[in-house]
Amino acid sequence: MDILSSFFDHLAIGASEAFTLQNLWYCFVGVFLGTLVGVIPGLGSLITISLLLPLTYHLEPTGALIMLAGVYFGADYGGGTCSILLGVPGHPAAAVDVLDGYPMAKQGRGGIALFMKCIASFWGSTVGVVLLMMFAPMLAAAALNFGPPEYFGLMFLGLVAASTVGDGSPLKGLAMMIIGLLVSFIGTDVNSGTERFTFGFPDLSEGVGLIVVAMGVFAISEVMRSAGSPNVQPVNQKFSLRDQMPTREDWKRSFAPMLRGSGIGSFFGSLPGTGGGMATFLAYAVEKRVSKQPERFGKGAIEGIASPEACNNAGVGTAFIPTLTLGIPGDAIMALLLAGLVVQGIQPGPMVMSTNPELFWGLIVSFFIGNLMLLVLNIPLIGVWVRLLSIPYQWLFPGILLFTCIGVFSTHYNVFDLYLLLGFGAMGYIAWLLKLEVVPLILGLILGQPIEENFRRTMLIFKGDLSIFISRPISAVAIGVAVFLLIWSVKSQITRKHKL
C-alpha cells in the first residue's frame, strides 16, 4: 500500500515536470535523434551523447538529462531496425535481432518483426520504468550485495547457459565460445598491468571491443555472403500497415518471452557493469532453452525478437537505478550522463530523490513519454523501413560498409579497429561456411573478461579461499544452477544419442 501511494505521489511530481512544453520538446528531440543514429549501423548513442553533452551545459538540468536519456533509449529502439531488415546490427546489443529478425525479413515477415520489436521494446521499457519508480532505492541497495564472488557466480552461470544453447553440434558451439573467450583475453591484464596476446600492437592493449566483433561477424560477413550470391531476388514484401501486423499466433508466441525478457533485462540493468549485449544474448539463450521447439530459433522465430528486445529496453530503464541512486555508472553511456549531471552541480546518490525530486521523477516520467513517442513514431515508419528491402542489394552494401566503418571508427578514432573489423568479418564469413554459430563466440567474448577478473579479484580479496563461492548464498545459488544445467545438458545429449 505504501509503495503504491508513494508511486502515485512520484508519478504526480514527475508528470508535472515532464509535461512542460519545453521538456516534451527535449524529449522528442532526444528520441528522434536517438532513433536516427540507432538505425545507422555502428553509430550508437555514445558518440551522439558525447557530442551533445557540451550543449547541455547551457540547458537547465532536467531538460538536458531528458534529452540525453532520450537519445540513449531512442538509439536502442532504432538499433534493431537494420538488424532485422539487412542483417546489420545498429549497435552490439541489437546484434541479437539479426538471429531471427533477418530470417523473418527474408521470409517476407520483416514488417511483423519490426512491429513486434516496437511492442516488445515498449513493454520492456514500461516494465523498467515502473520498477524504477517503485523499487529504485531497494534495487540500489540490492546491487550493493553483489561483490566479486557474486559477479563471478552470475557470469559463470551465463557462460554455462550460453554454452548449452546451440542447436547444432554442442562441440562446435563450445569451440566458438572458447574462441570468444580467447579473444576476450587479449589486452591488459588488470592484476599485473601486463599486456597479453597483443603481439606488440599497442592498439590491442584495451582488448578487442564488442562493437568491432559484433559489426564484423554480423554486418561485414553479411555483405561478404551477399556478394557471394549476387542474384538474390528481392523478397516479396507487402507494404500496407495491415500486412505488418503480427498474427494471433505471433502474439501468442511472444507474450511469455516478453515477460521473461523484461525480467532478465531489469535484473541485469540494475547491476552496474553487466548491461548491454550480455543481457540480450542471455535472454535469447534462455528463450531457446525453455522453448519446446528450439530448432525454430535462428530461422525466424518471433520469440527471438520479443524476448531480447523487451530485455534490452527494460535494462535501459533499470540501468538508471545504480547511476542515479548510487552515483555509479554501469557503462560508458551512463558515465557520460552522470558526468553531465555532476557538472551541473547535481549530486547523484540516494539523496537525489529527496534533493532533486523534480529531476529524478521528471526524468523517469519522461522515459515513459519518450517510449510512447517512439511507439507512435516507429509504427507508421515500419512501412517506410520495409521498403529498404526493395532496394537492390548492390545499391545498399556500399552504404552499409561505409556506415559500419564510420561507426566503428567513431568509438576510438582508431584506424586499427577497421582492420580488426575486416578480420572479424572474414571470421564471421568462414564461420558461416563451416556452419558454426556466432552467438557463443559473442557471449564468450562478453563474459570471458569479467569472469576472469572477478574470479581473480575474489582470490586476491579472500586470500585464495575457494570455499567463498559456496559460503556466499548468491554465488552458491548461481554456481549450483550452472552445475545443474551442465549435468542436465550432458544427460540430455546422451539420451538423445541413445534415441538416435
Partner 1 sequence: MFNTFKKALAAGLVAAIALISHVALAEDFPSKPLRIIVPFNPGGGVDTVARIIADNLRENLGAEIIVENKPGGSGMIGANAVVKAAPDGYTVLLGSAGEAAINEFVYKKIQYSPTEDLAPITLVARIPNVMVLSPKVPANTMEEFVAYAKENPGMTYGTSGIGNSQHLNGALLAGMSGLDMVQIPYKGASKQLVDVASGDVDMTFVSYTAARGFITDGKVKALAITAAERAQFDKNIPAIAEYAPLSNYQLENWFGMFAPAGTPADIVDKLNGAIVAALNNDELATKLQNMGGQPAPMTVAEFTAFLATERAQFAEIVKKAGISVE
Interacting residue ranges for partner 1, rule: CB under 8 A: 46, 49-50, 53-54, 57, 143-148, 188, 190-195, 202-203, 205-206, 272-273, 322, 325-330, 332-339, 342-345, 347-351, 412-414, 453, 457, 460-461, 463
Cα–Cα dist 1/3, whole Å? 5
How far apart are the C-alpha atoms of 353 and 359, rounded to whole Å?
8
| For partner 1, the closer CB: 307 or 454 | 454
How far apart (Å, rounded) are the C-alpha atoms in residues 285 and 304? 9
Rank residues 221 and 356 by Cβ distance to partner 1 and give the closer one: 356
CB-nearer residue toward partner 1: 150 or 222: 150
Q: How far is the CB of 319 from partner 1 (least distance, A)?
A: 12
> Contact, 320 vs 134, CB < 8 A?
no
> Containing H/E element for 332?
helix 332-343
Nearest to 183 by CA among 423, 368, 364: 423
Q: Is 172:303 a contact under the CB 8 Å cutoff?
A: no
User: Please, what is the minimum distance in Å from the beta carbon of residue 54 to partner 1?
Assistant: 5
CB of 433 within 8 A of CB of 446?
A: no
Placement of cell 520479443 in the chain: 306
Q: Which is nearer to partner 1, 16 or 145 (CB)?
A: 145
Burial of 153 (0-12, 13-18, 19+ CB in 10 A): buried
Q: Least Å distance between CB 61 and partner 1?
A: 12
What single-letter amino acid sits at 459?
Answer: M
CB of 355 to partner 1, least distance (A): 10
CB closer to partner 1, 53 vs 379 = 53
| CB nearer partner 1, residue 20 or residue 145 | 145
Give me the least distance between CB of 88 and partner 1, in Å please. Answer: 24
Q: Measured from the CB atom, is 184 or 221 closer to partner 1?
A: 184
Residue 187 — φ and ψ, nearest 5°?
125, -170
Q: How far is the CB of 112 from partner 1 (least distance, A)?
A: 37
Q: Which three cell numbers stand for residue 343?
A: 557538472
3-state secondary structure of 195: strand
CB of 332 to partner 1, least distance (A): 5
